[in-house]
Every structure is written in C-alpha cells, then in structure tokens.
Structure 1
Amino acid sequence: MFSTDAMEYGRFLPDMPAPGDFSGAYPCLCVFEKASRRTVPVSDTLPGLIYLLSGSGYVEYLESRHTYLPDSLLVVPDMSLFVLDPLEDTEYLCFVLSQGGELIDQISQRAGAVLALEGDNGIDQKMGKLCFDLQSGQIASPYLLSARMYEILMGALAACENKKGGGYPPLVRQAISIIREEYAFLAGVEELAQMLEVTKPHLIRTFTKATGMSPGKYLVQVKMENACLMLQNRDYSIDMIASMVGYSGANYFCRVFRQHTGESPGEYRARHFAPSASREKEQKLKELEGIYHV
C-alpha cells in the first residue's frame, strides 16, 4: 500500500489549467482526507476516482449501497451523488476529473457505477504518488499530469478485464458470506475452512490473492466493524459488546480493538457516541441484537 506518511490532509488544485483545446484525462482537484462520519467527499457533479486506503463501512451511489474494505478503488460518474458512510476512520485519496469522463463511463459500463477493486493492483501507488507530487508542486506540465491520470484510468480498465465479469471466485464469495453472517460464532479460519470443505492453506491462499487480505484479518475486520457500530449507537457494557462480536473476554477484545483502531472501546465511544442511527445502521443493529435476544 502507498505510504502517506509524508503527506498532509487537504485539497489541492493543479498549478496549471488544462489547455483550451485539450481532450485528455485531466484532474482538476486532488483530495487526501480522513472521514469519520457520513459525508459527501466532493459536492461537484464531475466524475472522480476514490481510493480507500484504510477503514471500513459503506459507500452509496444512486440506489446502490456497498460494503468497503481497505484498498478499494471506487469509480464514480457523478461525485455529488456519492456518499461515504464509514464505520471507522477511513483515509482516502480522490481525484476529480474536469476532462476524461468518457473513460469513467467505460469503466462503469463494464463493472457498474461504483467499482471496488481489491488486491495488489498498483493503482493506489500511482494515485498516491500523483497526489503527493501535486501537493509538493513537482508537476510542471499539464500534459504530464494528464498522462499520469490516463495511466491510472487504464489500470482501472485493465482491472475490469481481469475480473472477467466481476466478483470474487465462488470460494471467496462463500467465505465472505459465512464470515459476515457467522462472525460472532466462528472460532477461526480453521473452522471456516471445514465449513467450506477445503484445506486451511488453500482457503488462505485463495482468499488473500482475491482480496489482498487474509480471511483471519477479514474476520477481525468484520468483528470490529460491528463492535464500532454498537459503541457508536448503543450503551451496552464493553463485556456485552465483546461477547456479541465473538470474544470470550473483554480484556482480549479491548486489546484487539486498540490494535485495530488505535484507541480503547471507551475512548472510541466517547468520540463517536450518537444514540440516533441511520435507518441502515439501525436495521443492522436490530439484526445483531436479535441473535442475542436483547
């Protein structure tokens, strides 16, 4: 993953405008920010690319809603209609295009309006380096800027072709489905492999190659996603939340939570607590509470 250590949060405009007769792909805005709450990253109606560097939650576009994980690329024909709804702090890179929207449309036609590409595709490196170079004033030519943006868009098109109709392999889709439905009761990856009737090494290898994340890490991600949801919107004790997301003791849960978010469950709740949840979050909370009859 691209390292953002040398970068600062903010929004950056290229120093040079596109030539009047220019017809290439051209970014008019670069954004590097962290989202903690539901937000529209860019209110402009222009198309854009967003790379989610960390965190998890939901993205919405028109009538569709998708779960996201770290290292996902989102291709958005109209940025004003795109909503980021994080369950935990999410760092993202974004480029808004003043020219080149037809390429965004081509990607959308191949894989839908919002395309999530997970795995080692190199697009984050190219987007991160371009954002850094714009931030530090290292690009002096609009043609060089356009060429680098075009390379990123071609990488997204190539990724569409590699997916051959989109989606993960059947084994990975089954694993994701089981994890998201049974995360509170799964003992670990070995039990998951038994449920899928494959060997543990085969599951780990296939899952990691397809998603860029091991099934064990994904299981923890889902547990933490639901723990964050409850800490944000319910006043249950830490012991109870630990149990509801599949941990036998609060101490271990707190240790994993801190490793995942950088703060304790209590600190997270103090910063994010909001009793009134969105309709989608409330539905998910009720489903979780139904399992435990609370």
Structure 2
Amino acid sequence: MNQKNETFQFPDNDLHNQIIAMDNELAKQATNFTVEEQRLFYITLASIKPNQKSSIIEIDKKAVLDMLGFQSQNQYSRLRQMFTKMIKKSLILSGDDEIWNDGFLFYKCRSTKKKIYIYVDDEYIPLLIKLQPGFTRLLSDDAISFKSKYSMILYQQIMRLNNKGDFGVGFTTKELKTLFGLSKDDYVKKDGHFNRTTFENRTIDVAVKDINEKSKCIQNLRYEKRKKNGRVQGYVFFFDYTDPNEFRTTYNSDEKSSSKKIKDSKKFEEDREYLIKMMDTIGRDL
C-alpha cells in the first residue's frame, strides 16, 4: 500500500490497484458484455489517468496481458478481436421510443507496437473522464479478477450505491434481472412461475461467493430476502467495506484538483445533466 506522503507515478506497465471511475448514471446501466468484454471495459477505464484531459485512452499492451493473466506476448494477436467486440457492444440506449439519444461510448480502436488507443465519443466524455465528485469508484484488481459477469455487475452496483452511506444495498428481483442482462422470461418455468431457487443459485449465489473470495473492497458479503405478503420482493446485501483509495491513496490529490477544474465549466455541467435525463429511463419497462 502506498504511504500518504508518496508521489504516485502512473507506470504504463501496471494496472494493478488502479481506480476504475465512471459516472453513477453509467455505472447503473446494464450491458451486453461477455465476461471477457467486461474485463476489457474495466481495463480501459483503469487506464484513464487521474489528470486525463484527452478523449483518447492509452492502454499498455503488456499491462493488458498481465491483467488478463496471459503468459506470452504471442497472445497479442487476440487483443484486436477482443477490443473490437467490446467497442461494438458499447452502445448506450437512452430515452424511450418517442425521444431517444443512442450512441456508442467507444467509436474507434487503433494500436502501435506497444500501445492500444480507445477513442471515446465526445458526448459521453462526462461519463468517464471529466467526472464530478460522487462518481462510482471500483478497484481494478477486484473488478477484473471475477470469473462471472454477475459478480462484476453486483460488485459494481454495490460500490456505486455504497457511496450514499447505506447500511444495506437493496434490489428488487426485476432490477437484478435487468442489471444481470436477463430477460423477463429467464428462469421462468413451463408453468409460468418464476424459478427463484435456480435464479439465486446461478446468479446471486455465484456472485456472492466470487466476491467474497476475491474482493479487497467488499468482504463478508451476504444477503437477506425481503418479502411482502409471503412473497419475495427483492434482496438486501450487507458487507464490510474498504474504500479503494486505501489501496491507491495518492489518487485523491489528482481527483480533487481535476474535479475543481471541471466544476467551473458550465458547458460540461449542462452536458452531464442532459445525459442523466436521457439515461434515466433505461430499464424502467423491462
């Protein structure tokens, strides 16, 4: 762990224990990423420098191989296909069928011998780079280590909502199915009844076990069912929490100075508020 009086140098070849930051409105959205694509998404965000101004994210190839656990540079040939798939699935659907604003978060990827460059659409920069205080923070070693996408998503949501100081983080069954990328018909039996036991065993229980085994920030994760008139309405998750900055303590100084500069930009705030309004309707009718 870094000492508080250390000056943190951002090494190109190390993405361990980095802060993954994104706007809360983006963090709460469901994605169609596979486990592999979700890892690349987190790696991309972990590569954003604390004082980043450009909309082009620079990623070190060796750092990617290290985070993915690849043992040889011969695996470079896989990266192009992997990043291309992630970009194609970075579509953000905002609004409803009458008023919408849809677009791709990432629109281009190129590489050199040692680097990969991901281009962020200018409209979505406030969701990733020019962030206001209170955004969602994840720890890279946590998020990328999970085996299941359900673990990644549950961890992301708990870290997002924990910023509000809640003693427990709760979701309805419908919310969890949407966040996990499931349809309303998933885990519905032939007789039309929801198979809650199978749903819990294959999603929630897998995620809880995975997070408890690997996470530094979320430990002793457990949940309770909330019932109304004898029927389960949702789940409340309880856990022990450690702030990601405990593992990268010197991140704070850059984060504060960057926030102050952005706070003075009226144009940025208008753009962010517009995005939030457009994204707020996602998932309501799923």
**TM-score, normalized by length of structure 1?**
0.28
TM-score by length of 2: 0.28
Larger radius of gyration: 1
The structure with more helix, counted as a fraction of residues: 1
